[in-house]
Amino acid sequence: MLLITIKSIESGVINMRKKSYIIHIVSSLTLLLLILITTGTAHANHYTPFIKGKKKLGFKPSKKFIEQIYWSIKQRYPTPVGDKTIFSGAKGELKSLLKAYGINPSGIDSMPADGSILTKFRKKYGKKVNRDLSYYACARGMVKGLDDTECDLILPSESKDPRRDEIPQGYGGLGILIEKRNGKIVLIHPFVGGPGKKAGLKPGDVFLSINNKSTRGIDLDTARRRLIGKIGNNVKVVILRGNKKFAKIIKREKVKIVPVHAGIDKNNIGYIKVVYFSMDVPTLVYGALNTFKKKGVKKWILDLKDNSGGAINAVINFGGLFIARKKPVMYIKYRKNNRKITSNFEKNYMPPSVIVVNNYTTGSAEVISGTLREVKGSRIFGLPTQGHTSVAEYIKLNGGATLKLTVGFMLTAKGKSLRKRGLNPDVKIPGANNPANDAKTFKRVMQKIR
């Protein structure tokens, strides 16, 4: 990219009227800080490690545990959910459990998909199937019955903090953002100043192994655990870049994440990339916009490729930079009402001329893009977004497990739902999904907006 980097983004005091939105915006991919993480999808042998004793539940499921999940879904999910939907999911998951035990699951077919399913299952298979696994499978199936990729049942052993946005005290990493794409662990963004960037890692690099262990078949959580470690210790990675394979030994550091990158190109067109929406994003963008104003920038590009949203307050305050005070930035559709969330800023700035998105732009990043197109006329370039615009809460359950449950759906400023539809770009840019093509994508956007 031909960018004149804004080395010192002005830090200004933004007059914000504080509101409390204690909710998390999530996407199908991940929430991130040092390394993006996601929970692996279910498969038929999910229960095999438990049966063989290689993995433990970490708690003893109870009747109260099942009831908590049932009533959370019935009372909190944004749209009404019938018992048949909930218990059909439970029935299907109990079948998977039987398969993992090597038991023919046909005996469960005649059981009703209702609240009696677990009792009947235990009566028939209680001597063959572990009691705790039966409860767990039933509960997991109830959540899966929602057919909502944003909902999940998280075991105590999987994460004490379901958001997983911090690494342990005294530990460091490579300062990179990774995702799992097409079954591979791919580097999306090496943060400036981080050890990964200094070692020459580039967007699009594929991790073949980490510390001599293959990445084949592993999920992002496992990849993260392998990459982080004590500050000063080395991590060995084998990388595939195009057709070239090579190894790197990189020393872990305590990494400062910079979520915003800004600059001005030789044609005086501005550029702001938001990697994810942390709470300092509005202030950083505010500083960049003031620099644009001083430099006489008339057009600028907002890059939200691979952005999976983030803190709701950050997204609201970011949108408020461009939208008139008391006007809606978005709506959130809850079970009983639509909540209007408005801008609180007295002064507004020039909105982006173009917003660049791709298939991995999700959550609140999609919604704010849709709002800026509707209200301010920003054009969308790139590829269709995912349509995963849920608001989730993490509910602590009896015994220590956690239910991640969708409790709302985000809507644009004009009340449009992007759920399961996403945003279609005004101008399609093939290759926008490949982080290795960032320079080409940027060049194509620049050619079209001059």
Please identify which residue in the block is written with the tokens 């209680």.
126
CATH topology identical between 3-32+257-449 and 171-251: no
Q: What's the CATH code, domain 171-251?
A: 2.30.42.10
Residue 220 neighbours by CB under 8 Å, 6+ apart: 30, 35, 36, 37, 38, 40, 178, 179, 180, 185
pLDDT of residue 318: 97
Taking CB atoms within 8 Å and a gap of at least 24, the contacts of 186-192 are 186/435, 187/435, 188/36, 188/306, 188/435, 189/275, 189/306, 189/435, 191/255, 191/256, 191/257, 191/258, 191/275, 192/258, 192/261
3-state DSSP assignment of residue 404: strand
Homologous superfamily of domain range 3-32+257-449: 2-enoyl-CoA Hydratase; Chain A, domain 1 (3.90.226.10)
In this structure, which amino acid lies at residue 123? K
Please identify which residue in the block is written with the tokens 């840019």.
429
pLDDT of residue 218: 85
Q: Are 342 and 329 in contact (CB under 8 A)?
A: yes
Please identify which residue in the block is written with the tokens 């690099």.
205
Global confidence as pTM: 0.79
User: What are the domain boundaries of the chain?
Assistant: 3-32+257-449, 48-149, 171-251
Residue 59 neighbours by CB under 8 Å, 6+ apart: 155, 156, 399, 400, 401
3-state DSSP assignment of residue 294: helix
In this structure, which amino acid lies at residue 2? L
Token readout for 297 is 């920038």
What's the CA gap between 440 and 54, in Å, rounded?
Answer: 46
Single out the residue of 159, 166, 160, 171 nearest to residue 257, CA to CA. Answer: 166
pLDDT of residue 447: 86
pLDDT along the chain (450 residues), means of 10: 36 34 34 33 70 92 97 96 97 96 94 95 96 97 93 79 47 86 89 91 94 90 87 95 95 87 94 92 96 96 92 93 96 93 92 96 95 97 94 91 95 95 96 89 87
Q: What is the 3-state secondary structure (H, E, C) of 69-100?
A: HHHHHHHHCCCCCCHHHHHHHHHHHHHHHHHH
pLDDT of residue 149: 83
pLDDT of residue 168: 54
Phi/psi for 394 (5° steps) reads -100, 115
Strand partners, 361: none
Would you give the DSSP letter of residue 179? E
Q: What is the dihedral of CA 347, 350, 354, 359, to 10 degrees?
A: -10
Strand partners, 208: none
Token readout for 257 is 């994440």
Single out the residue of 284, 258, 249 nearest to residue 191, CA to CA. Answer: 258
